């Protein structure tokens, strides 16, 4: 007769299914000169606060979707499942996730969400060593305790209607106070399913780091309805290498951008090279037969989408006014010469990329260099 104990020992090996038996698809996002481009989500919940998932699920989700780094940021002050757990150590969710991620290419960053009424609202502190000291009576004590651990601290969903009913972020005295003390480093311009243009402008004015995070409580699959065309936000971090230290350095240096619902927000210092590294224009000249139309094939090697509008006419040519560079696709851009003298030249065609926003409502301007060879013979299609 077998004892329960022996059965369990055997089962420990027999039953446990490989939780990592998972397919990962990493979105193609190019590096930019000098930096790797890392895909990150710095705002995630688990059952240890009011989320629905075990911490390991966050690691598996990150692996499957090709994220380089995630932060576990459970609420300190709101833990509806608290009575279920044996321990009240606030580091437990991070520890479980970090243990899962050992030897996996997903970096797990230790964090927490300081969850207070507005002002100052909710703030995340990441790169912590111990969350417990941040459970304090006042919000200011909590921020101070996080700052003492050299945390990177950012303001979450600043226009969240439950705390800010008009939906417009407002820079309160409380924010000014911690900002002036050097204890506020970033701001979510995208959270969950919202973009806050006012927060974006604040980030530019006050030199705060841009963040775009899911704030997921459910699984990612339940949070964004693929059937309705919804997709998750990413914080893109331009880091010197793939490591927690390098991400931390990049965050403090404000080398980030945010991608969400096919729109890229970020300083042109980073989003312009990201665009150019994504795009390939043939270097062999496009042959133009007289005044007939021709098409130059532009390839977007990335999994981002770029929507281009012609910024200005090119003298002597007619150029398509719009082109959508779909992800991983090659798309024809129509060009026509307005006269038929023979020549070789390289056109510098200026576009606005309407879904790349260095500033709210101000699209990025880019220039594509297209070599053309004009032939006199009109052999139109």
Distance CA 74, CA 89 (A): 12
Among 166, 173, 205, 227, the residue binding its own copies under the rule CB under 8 A is 227
CA–CA distance, 252 with 249 (Å, rounded to integer): 5
Which of 32-40, 70-78, 273-281, 347-355 is the region at the interface with its own copies (rule: CB under 8 A)?
A: 70-78
Residues 129-148 that bind its own copies (CB under 8 A): 137-138
Minimum separation from the CB atom of position 301 to its own copies (A): 10
Tokens representing 269 are 């210092």
Query: In degrees to the nearest 10, what's the CA dihedral of 335, 336, 342, 346?
Result: -30
The nearest distance, CB 45 to its own copies, in angstroms, is 10
The reply to whether 73 sits near its own copies by the rule CB under 8 A is no
**Which stretch, 33-41, 241-249, 320-328, 353-361, contacts its own copies (CB under 8 A)?**
320-328
**Which residue from 162, 166, 315, 361 is in contact with its own copies, where contact means CB under 8 A?**
162
Evaluated on CA atoms 293, 297, 298, 304, the torsion sign reads: positive
List the beta bridge partners of residue 269. Answer: none
The answer to whether residue 2 forms part of the interface with its own copies (CB under 8 A) is yes
Contact stretch for its own copies (CB under 8 A) within 60-68, 177-185, 199-207, 360-368 = 60-68
Using CB under 8 A, pick the residue from 8, 168, 253, 269 that binds its own copies. Answer: 8
The reply to whether 54 sits near its own copies by the rule CB under 8 A is yes
Phi (first) and psi of residue 62, to 5 degrees: -65, -45
Contact stretch for its own copies (CB under 8 A) within 35-43, 167-175, 226-234, 272-280 = 226-234
d(CA 56, CA 196): 30
Within residues 165-194, the interface with its own copies by CB under 8 A covers: none
CB of 225 to its own copies, least distance (A): 6
Count of alpha carbons within 13 angstroms of residue 65, beta-carbon side: 20
Q: Which residues pair with 265 in a beta bridge?
A: 258, 357
CB within 8 Å of 307: residues ≥ 6 apart: 262, 322, 324, 325, 353, 354, 355
Tokens of 143: 């921020």
The helix (run of H) or strand (run of E) holding residue 353 is strand 343-353
Of 250 and 320, the one with the shorter C-beta distance to its own copies is: 320
By CB under 8 A, tell whether 315 contacts its own copies: no
Q: How far is the CB of 255 from its own copies (least distance, A)?
A: 26
Positions in 30-49 near its own copies (CB under 8 A): 47
Residues 279-308 that bind its own copies (CB under 8 A): 286-287, 293-295, 297, 305
> Are 73 and 45 a contacting pair, CB within 8 Å?
yes
C-alpha distances (whole Å) from 281 to each of 58, 277, 291, 323, 367 are 39, 11, 22, 14, 11
Distance CA 141, CA 174 (A): 13
Question: Which of 172-180, 200-208, 270-278, 328-336 is the region at the interface with its own copies (rule: CB under 8 A)?
Answer: 328-336
**Position among 43, 110, 116, 255 found at the interface with its own copies (CB under 8 A):** 116
Could you give the CA distance from residue 365 to residue 350 in angstroms, rounded to a whole number?
Answer: 7
Binding of its own copies by 19 (CB under 8 A): yes
Q: Could you tell me which stretch among 125-133, 253-261, 330-338, 347-355 binds its own copies (CB under 8 A)? A: 330-338
Q: Does 15 bind its own copies (CB under 8 A)?
A: yes
Segment lying near its own copies (by CB under 8 A), choices 8-16, 123-131, 234-242, 263-271: 8-16
State the number of binding residues for its own copies (CB under 8 A).
86
- What is the token pair recorded at 18? 């490989």
- Strands 279-280, 122-126: pairing is unpaired
Site string for its own copies, 332-361 (x = CB under 8 A): x-x---------------------------
Contact 236, 257 (CB under 8 A): yes
Structure tokens given for 376: 């006199």
* Binds its own copies by CB under 8 A, chosen from 33, 228, 344, 361: 228
């Amino acid at each position: 007769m077998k004892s329960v104990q022996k059965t369990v020992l055997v089962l420990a090996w027999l039953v446990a299914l490989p939780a990592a038996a998972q397919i990962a698809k990493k979105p193609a996002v190019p590096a930019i000169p000098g930096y790797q481009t890392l895909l990150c989500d710095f705002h995630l919940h688990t059952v240890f606060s009011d989320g629905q998932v075990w911490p390991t699920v966050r690691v598996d989700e990150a692996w499957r979707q090709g994220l380089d780094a995630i932060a576990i940021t459970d609420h300190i002050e709101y833990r509806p499942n608290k009575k279920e757990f044996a321990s009240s150590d606030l580091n437990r969710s991070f520890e479980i996730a970090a243990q899962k991620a050992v030897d996996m290419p997903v970096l797990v960053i230790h964090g927490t969400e300081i969850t207070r009424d507005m002002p100052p609202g909710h703030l995340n502190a990441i790169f912590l060593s111990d969350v417990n000291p941040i459970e304090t009576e006042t919000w200011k004590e909590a921020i101070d305790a996080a700052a003492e651990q050299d945390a990177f601290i950012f303001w979450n969903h600043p226009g969240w209607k439950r705390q800010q009913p008009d939906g417009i972020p407002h820079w309160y005295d409380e924010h000014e106070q911690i900002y002036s003390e050097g204890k506020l480093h970033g701001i979510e311009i995208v959270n969950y399913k919202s973009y806050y243009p006012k927060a974006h402008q604040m980030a530019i004015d006050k030199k705060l780091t841009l963040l775009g995070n899911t704030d997921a409580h459910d699984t990612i699959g339940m949070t964004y309805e693929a059937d309705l065309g919804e997709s998750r936000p990413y914080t893109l971090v331009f880091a010197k290498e793939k490591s927690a230290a390098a991400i931390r350095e990049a965050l403090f240096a404000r080398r980030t951008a945010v991608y969400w619902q096919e729109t890229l927000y970020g300083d042109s210092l980073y989003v312009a090279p990201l665009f150019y590294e994504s795009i390939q224009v043939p270097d062999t000249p496009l042959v133009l037969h007289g005044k007939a139309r021709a098409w130059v094939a532009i390839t977007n090697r990335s999994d981002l989408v770029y929507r281009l509008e012609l910024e200005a006419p090119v003298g002597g040519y007619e150029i398509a006014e719009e082109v959508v560079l779909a992800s991983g696709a090659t798309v024809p851009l129509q060009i026509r010469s307005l006269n038929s003298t023979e020549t070789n030249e390289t056109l510098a065609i200026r576009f606005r990329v309407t879904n790349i926003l260095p500033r709210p409502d101000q699209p990025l301007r880019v220039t594509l260099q297209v070599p053309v060879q004009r032939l006199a013979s009109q052999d139109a299609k």
